[in-house]
């Protein structure tokens, strides 16, 4: 058995990764390290609780990290503060968890060895013009806009430096926007779905022209497994479905799928510094590792996601009021 440590395994992508790993990769013995911040929920792992060891702890805690890294063969690092709007309100936890947390893991890896995969985002590259076909590549210079993306850029740089200077066996992936089950209700798609399920109006920032490349969380996690098994050490891989949509288009799609008029939403104030467009050139992972998304039809993926939120109110309802109260403070 290969011993795998998953940081942030009680969050959206990490928990889906743990489910995927338990179902499809019996060669791994999984341990989750998660601080259970507002974004982490142990219930998300309840169906695999017997197959997974759970450690409630912080990636900035040197003692815990040292102990868990020492007994792991593979470390997949999802844990992070992940929401741009929160980072604009209070950047401190982002610097702490995303930079100091990644540093703490890297120092343990330097001491004990182990295979490390770092989960990052396309946001480290800044943004692209709204019009045009330009894409980010593995060579695009970093140019982050928000405290969130700056902290993720910082963590990527640390991983590269520890790989080059200390020989840490690391890979990095930068994925586009994810959607799917167990995504926190603060994020765009689940916020709108759960507003509608609760008879509140959805909220679109500004004119809704900003473009995101929507990738199903299972496609992201399948790519991570490919990188773990076939990726080249020291390399970075960009992941993305290729399906780019404006926020307004997504809003109209969701409303249509839920049987409502396409304009049944409110415009709210725009996010400061709002990145215009993200788009990843994922040729490298497609050609070198043979990755391709299974969720080819975004409309179908969104319909399944709506169904999931409709049927799993037990999971998201406890987070909803506190999340909307935070948005009220931001005026969004």
Q: Which residues bind ligand TDX (CB under 6 A)?
A: 82-84, 121, 123, 177, 187-188, 191, 203-205, 210, 212, 247, 271
CB 153 within 8 A of CB 124: yes
Q: Does 323 bind ligand NAD (CB under 6 A)?
A: no
Letters for 141-170 (x = contact with ligand NAD by CB under 6 A, - = none) are: -----------x------------------
Q: Does 31 bind ligand NAD (CB under 6 A)?
A: no
* Identity of the residue, 108 or 185, whose beta carbon is nearer to ligand TDX in the bound complex: 185
122 is catalytic: yes
Size of the site for ligand NAD (CB under 6 A): 30
Q: Which of 6, 31, 59, 168: binder of ligand NAD (CB under 6 A)?
A: 59
199 is catalytic: no
Q: How far is the CB of 174 from ligand TDX (least distance, A)?
A: 9
* Identity of the residue, 51 or 319, whose beta carbon is nearer to ligand TDX in the bound complex: 319
Q: Give the CA distances from residue 278 to residues 123, 124, 127, 247, 255, in Å, rounded to whole numbers and listed in that order.
A: 7, 10, 6, 12, 23
Q: How far is the CB of 46 from ligand NAD (least distance, A)?
A: 14
Identify the DSSP state of 57: -
Letters for 96-115 (x = contact with ligand NAD by CB under 6 A, - = none) are: -x---x--------------
Longest dimension (CA), the chain: 58
Of residues 41, 81, 123, 127, which has the active-site annotation? Answer: 123
Kindly give, in sequence order, each residue whose CB lies less than 8 Å from that of residue 211, ignoring residues fewer than 6 positions away. 130, 244, 245, 246, 247, 276, 277, 278, 279
* Identity of the residue, 118 or 203, whose beta carbon is nearer to ligand TDX in the bound complex: 203
Q: For residue 239, what are the β-bridge partners?
A: 175
281 is catalytic: no
CA angle 1, 119, 144 (to 5 degrees): 170
Letters for 166-205 (x = contact with ligand NAD by CB under 6 A, - = none) are: ---------x-xx-----x---------------------
Strands (DSSP E) found in 35-126 = 52-56, 74-77, 115-121
Rounded Cα gap, residues 258 and 73, in angstroms: 45
* Identity of the residue, 151 or 195, whose beta carbon is nearer to ligand NAD in the bound complex: 151
How many beta carbons lie within 10 A of that of residue 271, not counting itself?
16
DSSP result, 172-215: EEEE--EESTT--TTSHHHHHHHHHHTTPPPEEETTS--EEE-E
188 binds, among ligand TDX, ligand NAD, none (CB under 5 to 8 A by kind): ligand TDX
Residue 202: closest CA among 252, 271, 277, 276 = 252
Residues in 67-86 that interact with ligand NAD by CB under 6 A: 78-82
Identify the DSSP state of 121: E
Q: Does 285 bind ligand NAD (CB under 6 A)?
A: no
Q: How far is the CB of 177 from ligand TDX (least distance, A)?
A: 4
Q: How far is CA 294 from the centre of its chain?
A: 18
Q: Does 11 bind ligand NAD (CB under 6 A)?
A: yes
Of residues 28, 41, 127, 148, which has the active-site annotation? Answer: 148
CB 238 within 8 A of CB 173: yes
Q: Does 45 bind ligand NAD (CB under 6 A)?
A: no
Residues that bind ligand NAD (CB under 6 A): 7-8, 10-14, 34-37, 39-40, 58-60, 78-82, 97, 101, 119, 121, 152, 175, 177-178, 184
């Amino acid at each position: 058995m290969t011993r795998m440590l998953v940081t942030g395994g009680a969050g959206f992508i990490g928990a889906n990764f743990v489910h995927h790993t338990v179902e499809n990769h019996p060669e791994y013995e999984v341990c989750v390290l998660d601080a259970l911040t507002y974004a982490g929920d142990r219930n998300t792992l309840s169906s695999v609780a017997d197959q997974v060891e759970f450690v409630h702890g912080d990636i900035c805690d040197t003692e815990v990290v040292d102990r868990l890294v020492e007994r792991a063969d593979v470390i997949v690092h999802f844990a992070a503060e992940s929401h741009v709007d929160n980072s604009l309100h209070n950047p401190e936890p982002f610097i702490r968890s995303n930079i100091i947390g990644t540093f703490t893991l890297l120092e343990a890896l330097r001491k004990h060895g182990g295979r490390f995969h770092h989960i990052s985002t396309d946001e480290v590259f800044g943004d692209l013009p709204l019009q045009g076909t330009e894409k980010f590549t593995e060579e695009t210079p970093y140019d982050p806009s928000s405290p969130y993306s700056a902290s993720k850029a910082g963590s990527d740089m640390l991983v590269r430096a520890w790989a080059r200077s200390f020989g840490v066996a690391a890979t990095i992936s930068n994925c586009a926007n994810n959607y799917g089950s167990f995504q926190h209700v603060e994020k765009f798609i689940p916020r709108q779905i759960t507003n509608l399920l609760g008879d509140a109006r959805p909220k679109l920032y500004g004119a809704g022209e900003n473009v995101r490349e929507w990738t199903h969380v299972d496609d992201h996690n399948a790519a991570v497994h490919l990188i773990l098994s076939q990726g080249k050490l020291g390399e970075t891989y960009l992941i993305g479905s290729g399906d780019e949509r404006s926020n307004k288009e997504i809003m109209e799609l969701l409303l249509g799928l839920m049987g409502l008029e396409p304009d049944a939403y409110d415009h709210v104030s725009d996010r400061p510094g709002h990145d215009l467009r993200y788009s990843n050139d994922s040729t490298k992972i497609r050609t070198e590792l043979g990755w391709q998304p299974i969720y080819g039809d975004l409309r179908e993926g969104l319909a399944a996601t709506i169904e999931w939120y409709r049927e799993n109110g037990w999971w998201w309802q406890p987070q909803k009021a506190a999340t909307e109260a935070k948005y009220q403070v931001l005026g969004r």
